[in-house]
Chains A and B, each alone.
Chain A
Amino acid sequence: MAALDNREFIQTAIDGHRHLDGALLPALHAIQDGLGWVPPEATPMLAEALNLSRAEVHGVISFYHHFRTTPPGRHVVQVCRAEACQAMGASALEAHAKRSLGADFGQTTADAAITLEPVYCLGNCACSPAVRIGDRIVGRVDATRFDALMAELREEATA
């Protein structure tokens, strides 16, 4: 049932973008924005619609860090690992995030609430260390602030 819905969604996303020059990336973005990830059935559908081989489509999906081939948790939390954030304690924040969530980069917490990802600069280097939660950027994040933010996310989920 869910798979059927996915297929329909993917087809609509593809149809909405196939007229563009270089349509593959915009179509992949639309799929991931809607579903949270790029499910395996998208590959043959994209290949068919855009006249590419499955290998080419797979090659593109796997090249870009942004595209996910497994479903994420309810929230995606990215911690910046780049130099400006490091200068203000990002390494400690990264360690704290992994420990407190019990999840490594690329993993999702046991309660499926939070997927943790690394990111290399959010352009918020003047307010480092920086974190992104969905489309929200948060600055000057330390361990305490991180815990509060995660608690907020989990409250939203149960509310």
Chain B
Amino acid sequence: MNMTVYVPMDSGAASLGAHELAQAIASEAARRGIALELKRNGSRGMYWLEPMIEVETPAGRVAYGPVRREDVPGLFDAGFLNGGCHALALGPTESIDYLKRQSRLTLQRVGVVDALSITDYLAQGGFAGLRRAVRMSPAEIVAEVTESGLRGRGGAAFPTGIKWNTVLNTTADQKYIACNADEGDSGTFSDRMLMEGDPFCLIEGMTIAGLAVGATRGFIYLRSEYPDAHRVLLAAIETARETGYLGADILGAGKAFDIEVRLGAGAYICGEETAMLESLEGKRGIVRAKPPLPAIEGLFGKPTVINNVISLASVPIILAMGAAYYRDYGVGRSRGTLPFQLAGNLKRPGLVELAFGTTLRELLYDFGGGSASGRPIRAVQVGGPLGAYVPESQFDVALDYEAYAAMGAMIGHGGLVAFDDTVDMAHMARYAMEFCAEESCGKCTPCRIGSTRGVEVIDRLMAGEARGKQLALLNSLCDTMERGSMCAMGGMTPYPVRSALKHFPEDFGIDATQAA
């Protein structure tokens, strides 16, 4: 039997040299006359250990990392193919604390399977959800998803089942599933990891969605910043078609569904669902007024389910294991798990999938290992560029949608960006306004003009010009943006700005009483 070595092809691992490493391992094996099967998996999400390789042993998979090309001959000498001792040995993969303490539901196969092997996918329980779904009525599928408590993972946390139900109950000659793979938020990469590491899971989730609402066509709107995910998705869709999981006759059940991938073009606002539809239609990504809801009049004017990658990829396990299994994870109205993404200034950045209800402190310190710089963590931006900066005093609030909303923050897509105490929060507030000015779709004045004025006001505030006056101006500008913007771009840019002012007034040269 061939020895099997896993080397991730995830773009994060690749960004640290995984492709060169795979080559080095292959040629060293050839040089030593060892027959070797190299499998390209996704990443387990422990990026400080990437490139992390694994070998298949009779006792299970054993990991080594971070491995550089220079380490390869030594690993062979140490007999790593049989799990031999080496300075880079991490032991059995599943026993690594960071991984062991997670609840991997949605990303259970990412890093485990060869991303493009449908055989691997099937061996790890893939398509069990779809097999069940083809025997159910659309209403039964929708009910199962509703009961699971799944809420949209793309930001707004709207119940997925309710959205599907609206589309199911709208009659039309054509309906669509539109997967939002724009993932524009800084600090988020779970969509990318899922698409690169387990593309069949997304395909399965979209197909189930299609069966549930009677849609025969699906689009994946993928950001152009993800060239690797693009390649993997195209290849996986082709394989799924060839094997009867996509196309005119899904699993021989007489139902049709197919998927097309469309690339975005570097516009953050195209992650907003109606701007995404405009972009998919080949237009400028300008936000549409609602109503009509996209569920009723969406893509090309037809009823459309719009869901985030992780929302859709959570559906196969819900169908395979039942609604209750998924719902039993989580707290309150935040059910199931969320892939939290640990980024920024952390010793052990990566992806941690956990049930809702955990805390920032646990994520930042128990998993993240504290700051990479060794300095105190001062602020964490949660939920992307429109998310609030959370100070240490709030690190123990449970991560659940409602608890976060109550403190004026949001979980969003689950991205955490940690900053140490060298951060200048006035600079970050300015950046938030600058980003909004750069990325605004331009449809409404508070967002388009307000963000530009916001940058100017913060500049004057920092220059020390009539601080009281500038501060009042900034506050009223934030009010106007919050109340007068059509979408969350303008409506939530005040979140990072106001949270920075509120929790870190000293960086603006003011004191706490002035900030409030």
List the interface of chain A (C-beta within 8 A of B).
21-26, 28-29, 50, 56, 59-60, 63-67, 82-88, 119-128, 130, 132, 135-140
List the interface of chain B (C-beta within 8 A of A).
11-12, 14-16, 45, 47, 50, 183-189, 191-192, 224-228, 262-268, 279-285, 300, 341-345, 349-351, 372, 381, 385, 415, 417-420, 423, 428, 431, 435, 438-439
Known: A83-B381, A84-B417, A125-B417. A60 touches B283 (CB 8 A): yes
* Nearest residue, chain B, Cβ from A25: B282
Query: Can you list 8 pairs linking A and B with CB atoms under 8 Å apart?
Result: A64-B266, A83-B381, A123-B225, A124-B15, A126-B189, A126-B350, A128-B344, A137-B11
Known: A83-B381, A120-B186. A25 touches B263 (CB 8 A): yes
Expressed in whole angstroms, the minimum distance between the Cβ of B286 and any Cβ of chain A is 8
Given A60-B283, A120-B184, A127-B47, 19 extra CB contacts under 8 A = A26-B263, A29-B224, A63-B267, A64-B265, A65-B266, A67-B265, A82-B385, A84-B344, A85-B186, A87-B345, A88-B344, A88-B345, A121-B185, A122-B225, A126-B350, A127-B12, A130-B15, A132-B225, A139-B12
A65 and B267 form a contact (CB under 8 A): yes
Q: Give the residue of A59, A123, A128 whose beta carbon is less than 8 angstroms from that of B11.
A: A123
Known: A22-B282, A25-B282, A120-B184. A125 touches B344 (CB 8 A): yes
Give the CA-CA distance A20 to B186 in the complex, in Å.
32
* Nearest residue, chain B, Cβ from A91: B427
Give the CA-CA distance A117 to B184 in the complex, in Å.
17
* Nearest residue, chain A, Cβ from B43: A126
A135 and B184 form a contact (CB under 8 A): no
Known: A82-B186, A83-B385, A84-B417. A125 touches B341 (CB 8 A): yes
Give the CA-CA distance A50 to B282 in the complex, in Å.
10
A137 and B14 form a contact (CB under 8 A): yes
Give the CA-CA distance A119 to B186 in the complex, in Å.
11
Expressed in whole angstroms, the minimum distance between the Cβ of B187 and any Cβ of chain A is 4
Expressed in whole angstroms, the minimum distance between the Cβ of B281 and any Cβ of chain A is 4
Known: A64-B267, A84-B417, A126-B341. A24 touches B15 (CB 8 A): no
In the complex, what residues of B have CB within 8 A of residue A25's CB? 262-265, 279-280, 282
B225 and A87 form a contact (CB under 8 A): no
Q: Give the residue of A84, A121, A124 whose beta carbon is less than 8 angstroms from that of B184.
A: A121
Q: Which 9 A-B pairs rank lowest in CB-CB distance, beginning with the nearest?
A: A87-B344, A82-B186, A139-B15, A24-B282, A64-B265, A65-B266, A125-B343, A66-B266, A66-B265
Expressed in whole angstroms, the minimum distance between the Cβ of A105 and any Cβ of chain B is 11
Expressed in whole angstroms, the minimum distance between the Cβ of A132 and any Cβ of chain B is 7
* Nearest residue, chain B, Cβ from A138: B15
* Nearest residue, chain B, Cβ from A131: B15
Expressed in whole angstroms, the minimum distance between the Cβ of A29 and any Cβ of chain B is 6
A63 and B16 form a contact (CB under 8 A): no
* Nearest residue, chain B, Cβ from A27: B282
In the complex, what residues of B have CB within 8 A of residue A65's CB? 265-267
In the complex, what residues of B have CB within 8 A of residue A121's CB? 183-188, 225
B282 and A60 form a contact (CB under 8 A): yes
A23 and B282 form a contact (CB under 8 A): yes
Give the CA-CA distance A67 to B267 in the complex, in Å.
11
In the complex, what residues of B have CB within 8 A of residue A88's CB? 344-345, 372
A21 and B266 form a contact (CB under 8 A): no
Give the CA-CA distance A119 to B226 in the complex, in Å.
12
Give the CA-CA distance A135 to B231 in the complex, in Å.
11
Give the CA-CA distance A32 to B192 in the complex, in Å.
23
* Nearest residue, chain B, Cβ from A125: B343
Q: Give the residue of A28, A82, A135 whose beta carbon is less than 8 angstroms from that of B265.
A: A28
Give the CA-CA distance A60 to B286 in the complex, in Å.
10
In the complex, what residues of A have CB within 8 A of residue B284's CB? 59-60, 63
B418 and A87 form a contact (CB under 8 A): yes
In the complex, what residues of B have CB within 8 A of residue A63's CB? 267, 284-285
Give the CA-CA distance A64 to B286 in the complex, in Å.
11
Expressed in whole angstroms, the minimum distance between the Cβ of B448 and any Cβ of chain A is 13
Give the CA-CA distance A63 to B428 in the complex, in Å.
25
Give the CA-CA distance A84 to B186 in the complex, in Å.
6
A29 and B341 form a contact (CB under 8 A): no
Give the CA-CA distance A26 to B261 in the complex, in Å.
10
* Nearest residue, chain A, Cβ from B373: A88
In the complex, what residues of A have CB within 8 A of residue B45's CB? 126
